[in-house]
Amino acid sequence: MKNKSTLKTVLSYVSRHRMLLCLLILFSVAFSLLSLYIPILIGDAIDLAVDKGEVDFDGILSIIIRAVAVTLLTALFQWLVSIIGNSITFSVVRDIRQEAFEKLVKLPLSYIDSHRHGEVVSRVITDAGQFADGLIMGFTQLFTGVVTILGTIVFMVSINYKIALIVVLLTPLSLFVASFIARNTYNMFKKQSETRGEMTGVIDEMIGGQKVVRAFGYEAKAQAKFDDVNSRLEKHTLKAIFFSSLTNPCTRFVNSVVYAFVGGFGAFAVIGSTMTVGGLSCFLSYAGQYTKPFNEISGVVTELQNSLACAARVFEFINTPEVEDKGIELLDFPKGDVEFKDVSFSYSKDVSLIEGFNLQVKSGQRVAIVGPTGCGKTTLINLIMRFYDVDGGVITVDGIDTTHLSRKSLRSNFGMVLQDTWIKKGTVAENIAMGKPDATREEIIATAKASHAHNFIKKLPKGYDTVISEAEGGLSQGQRQLLCICRVMLALPPMLILDEATSSIDTRTEKKIQDAFAKLMQGKTSFIVAHRLSTVREADVILVMRDGKIIECGSHGELLAKNGFYTQLYNSQSAV
């Protein structure tokens, strides 16, 4: 049932290219009919040379010329069928990959966080590629095969309907054999595709964590993990290939039996003068052409099982439910009042994190959030930005429920600098200008100087025009973080979120950046998540969190005077 649903979805993509599909069918018919005309010409030529001493050389030469012309036309139409089939295939795969990527950028972070990145990449790239291979074979062989079968039946019946009946009755056995095998190989190909995705995930994991793998001597365990997945992939692949490879020999055996019957009955027909030698030659050629598409179609059916198994995984990803953004209001010129009202949230329904959380932040306040690991600091930021939606309660900005605001409008009013940096493929200037694409070079340079990134940028091979990317290791973690800080300082958003924004920067540079941030945050509502308490002493309000709740609140001096949990945290860092 799922197989039929996948095929129906594939056909819906193919139907978008109706014009090319019509041309494909037209050229397939032309190719098949011309290829069927060639045996007639050869049979006629044989009949002109059968009788002793009565060889019609002029007639044979005329037939040869026509045969060459028909052969050239046949080759031309076959080439056109191949070109159009490939065009439709890669257009369909392009559309599928485009929709998959659009889905990727729309999916909630909860999906991204709960799935291996390599496995997602495998669906969009590898599975779509495997699907393309099967679709190409289908387009180039399915249409021409069907037309050839129908055409040969007509021609064989016109020559000798009795022998044609034998061929028609026996040959479909090969298709039934192929169909039976194909139905039983779909699940094997599906397991092969799933395991291949798992392998991609393991490789992606190991490449991304190579330093950790080597630092902790995890190489042997990593190899064992890979070997386990690799051996399972080998097992599933061998099973799928073995059973699918039975198709061709089985169908060829049936076809050989058919060919033998045609030869035997045809010989008796020639002896009985009900068929000419040329007619028998033509009939044997048609028998071969008639059975050949069954081999090809059976191969197509087998390949389509793999193709559909891969397509099913891609469509499963494309059809993943999105978290619908029902917010339509826009946040124009916000003052920056942010409030949490009885907010509850947890990543897992089994483990509670934030319950009954309340917080009121006035416009222009600098709010620092501190506490031990896992207390919910970064979770608050995720909720403010609607990377995750609350399970209960309300978060408002300027009195407007954030779920009533469009995510784009909400996020465009916040500038974020995270501990985890991200660099896109492009020049240094393009990376800085991500939040303000129309920024001038002078503005970019001035911002880089303010964030103390200008000096290291000047030392790069082409300065601000140096091409960098996330994958390349040309920049240190601290330099990458400086570029991320530049982005926010250039965009000048109404509100700021700094989540360990200077964690990878040396202390001397950090002090200078803190001064730059102090100027940037003037009059702006700012949320500062920090582990190093020395970086939040100037905050207007410091929230001390523990187990998803605010246990202390106040300025740096007020919290120290309380001699509570904040004092313990501060003293523990001072002692270090």
517-548 confidence digits (pLDDT tens): 777 777 788 888 877 776 777 788 888 888 87
Q: Using CA atoms, how far apart are residues 555 and 350, in angstroms rounded to an integer?
A: 35
Q: Using CA atoms, how far apart are residues 250 and 177, in angstroms rounded to an integer?
A: 7
Q: Using CA atoms, how far apart are residues 317 and 179, in angstroms rounded to an integer?
A: 28
DSSP-derived secondary structure letter, 535: G
Residue 575 has pLDDT above 60, yes or no: no
Worst-scoring range by mean pLDDT, 312-316, 469-473, 482-486?
469-473
Q: For the chain, where do the domains classified as CATH 1.20.1560.10 start and end?
A: 2-318
Phi, psi of 346 (to 5 degrees): -150, 145
Binning pLDDT at 50, 70 and 90, where does residue 504 land?
Answer: low
Q: Which residues contact 399 (CB under 8 A, 6 or more apart)?
A: 337, 339
Residue 256 has pLDDT above 80, yes or no: no
pTM of the model: 0.62
135-160: pLDDT as tens digits: 666 666 777 777 777 887 887 777 77
Specify the pLDDT at position 73. 92
Residue 1 has pLDDT above 60, yes or no: no
The sign of the CA dihedral 550, 522, 387, 478 is: negative
Q: How many other C-beta atoms can be found within 10 angstroms of the C-beta atom of residue 145?
A: 22
Residue 352 has pLDDT above 70, yes or no: yes
> 338-575, which class in CATH?
alpha beta
Percent of the chain with pLDDT over 70: 88
Burial class (CB in 10 A: 0-12, 13-18, 19+), 121: middle
Burial class (CB in 10 A: 0-12, 13-18, 19+), 328: exposed
Q: Which residues contact 386 (CB under 8 A, 6 or more apart)?
A: 402, 403, 407, 410, 411
Specify the pLDDT at position 18. 85
321-349: pLDDT as tens digits: 766 667 678 878 788 888 889 888 887 77
Q: For the chain, where do the domains classified as CATH 3.40.50.300 start and end?
A: 338-575
Beta bridge partners of 354: 345
Worst-scoring range by mean pLDDT, 7-11, 21-25, 179-183, 543-547?
179-183
Worst-scoring range by mean pLDDT, 62-76, 98-112, 355-369, 454-468?
98-112
Which amino acid type is present at position 29? V
Closest by Cα among 57, 70, 125 to 97: 125
Residue range 202-209: mean pLDDT, rounded: 76
Binning pLDDT at 50, 70 and 90, where does residue 300 land?
Answer: low
Specify the pLDDT at position 21. 83
Max Cα-Cα span within the chain: 125
Mean pLDDT of the chain: 79
Helical (H) or strand (E) element with 97: helix 57-106
Q: Are 420 and 499 in contact (CB under 8 A)?
A: no
Binning pLDDT at 50, 70 and 90, where does residue 185 land?
Answer: confident
CATH code of the domain made up of 2-318? 1.20.1560.10
pLDDT higher for 427 or 179?
427
